[in-house]
A = this chain, B = another copy of it.
Amino acid sequence: MDKYSIALDAMGGDSAPEITVKGAVRAIQKLPVKIFLVGDEVQIAAELAQVRGSYNPDQLEIIHTDQQITMHDHPKATLDLRPRASIALAAKLVGEHKADALVSAGNTGAVILSAAKYINRIPGVRKTALAALYPTHNRQKREELFSLILDVGANIHNTHHDLIHFAYMASTYVNRIKNIEKPTVGLLNVGKEEYKGGALLAKTHKILSELPDINFIGNIEGNELLQGYADVVVTEGLTGNIAIKTAEGMASSAKHLGKRALRHPLYMFGMLMLAGGIRRIKNITDYQEYGGAPVFGFERMVIKCHGRSGPRAIDNAIQLAVRSISQNMTENISSGIRAYEAKYAVNDMDLASDYY
């Protein structure tokens, strides 16, 4: 019997269900995991028929639905119109405890809204957060050179409680997944000084500094994001989204440069020389490398992969989900939040007027 089960939104992503089915097969070839392929059974079966290499078909179960949401659909309106969309059914499986984690490369808004509809939030958590993983210069000499930034798109504005929850959730995640004992946490801001960035960020800075279980290293400015001093960067959704997309825009400029040079064999020497650095920058948009990033705040793991993910990224995301479950990730996150809420938040009388 399979120890864990994953609900995979088989119709989510730019090339679904081809990519998702291939990714699922790769995952079950190495892990004793059960995967629910949620989507159009005819299309999924056709993709499965193409798969080469052996696998145990008992590890896969198709959950049929003819509804799906594309990358370009308006998330809320389309979910209302198509309540049996693959992402919604996959989230429901997780909410009903028929699966342990949700993986999707589909429409980000639809993933977050479906999870919010069917999966309980961790008690005390008011806002979920979408995280993004990005490569850094790794000034801390970690084995892995990635940092995690959140929120990058589940919210626009947040309270200081939200931001502190983000710090707890991501610290626990990085601790468990990367085996870093006390992940460093930075607050994205406009300057180093603790009073910078307005009332919300100053208050968040103050409380983070006081929390013994958060390894807070202070404010991080935009130009320091890539240095990798902070394993976790905490920010409101608006600022996080703008920062990570700006970095992606710059990275894709560097990537185009790289590609242009590589078309001219004469100039490949230079590229080889530059390769280490350019690769580090362009990795930011290389979704194959790291599979996906968590949507934090739910009682079950939710992993969002990039829409352009390939089979390797889907496979990696499923492995990430399994590793998270085996590490009791959400329970550990939950107990961190509980301790903070007991001490700081419940008696915080200004909670209602917290929006700046």
Q: Which residues of A contact B (CB under 8 A)?
A: 74, 137, 153, 156-157, 188, 190, 193, 197-198, 221-227, 235, 237-239, 241-254, 256-257, 260-261, 264, 266-274, 277-278, 280-281, 355-356
Q: In the assembly, what is the distance between CA of A257 and CA of B281, in Å?
A: 10
Q: Can you list 30 residue pairs at the A/B interface with Cβ under 8 Å?
A: A74-B193, A137-B253, A153-B190, A156-B190, A197-B238, A222-B243, A222-B244, A222-B246, A222-B248, A222-B249, A223-B245, A223-B248, A223-B252, A226-B250, A238-B239, A246-B246, A246-B247, A247-B250, A250-B251, A250-B281, A253-B281, A254-B254, A254-B281, A260-B273, A260-B274, A261-B270, A269-B269, A270-B270, A270-B271, A270-B272
Q: Of residues A227, A241, A268, A272, which shows the largest number of chain B Cβ atoms within 10 Å of its Cβ?
A: A241
Contact across chains for A243 and B241 when beta carbons are under 8 A apart: no
Contact across chains for B274 and A270 when beta carbons are under 8 A apart: yes
Which B-chain residue is minimally distant from A137 (CB atoms)?
B253
For this chain, the copies found in one complex come to 2
Q: In the assembly, what is the distance between CA of A58 and CA of B260, in Å?
A: 54
**Residues of chain B contacted by A252 (CB below 8 angstroms):** 223
**CB < 8 Å neighbour of A273 from B243, B246, B264:** B264
Q: In the assembly, what is the distance between CA of A223 and CA of B284, in Å?
A: 12
**Residues of chain B contacted by A274 (CB below 8 angstroms):** 257, 260-261, 267, 270-271, 274
**CB < 8 Å neighbour of A242 from B243, B260, B272, B277:** B243
Contact across chains for B261 and A246 when beta carbons are under 8 A apart: no
Q: In the assembly, what is the distance between CA of A326 and CA of B235, in Å?
A: 43
**Residues of chain B contacted by A249 (CB below 8 angstroms):** 222-227, 247
Q: Min CB distance, A74 to chain B, in Å?
A: 8
Contact across chains for B278 and A197 when beta carbons are under 8 A apart: no
**Residues of chain B contacted by A257 (CB below 8 angstroms):** 274, 277-278
Q: In the assembly, what is the distance between CA of A244 and CA of B239, in Å?
A: 12
Q: In the assembly, what is the distance between CA of A270 and CA of B247, in Å?
A: 24
Contact across chains for A260 and B245 when beta carbons are under 8 A apart: no
Q: In the assembly, what is the distance between CA of A147 and CA of B242, in Å?
A: 17
**Residues of chain B contacted by A272 (CB below 8 angstroms):** 267, 270
**CB < 8 Å neighbour of A222 from B245, B256, B271, B356:** B245
Which B-chain residue is minimally distant from A222 (CB atoms)?
B245
**Residues of chain B contacted by A256 (CB below 8 angstroms):** 277
Q: In the assembly, what is the distance between CA of A144 and CA of B307, in Å?
A: 35
**Residues of chain B contacted by A224 (CB below 8 angstroms):** 249
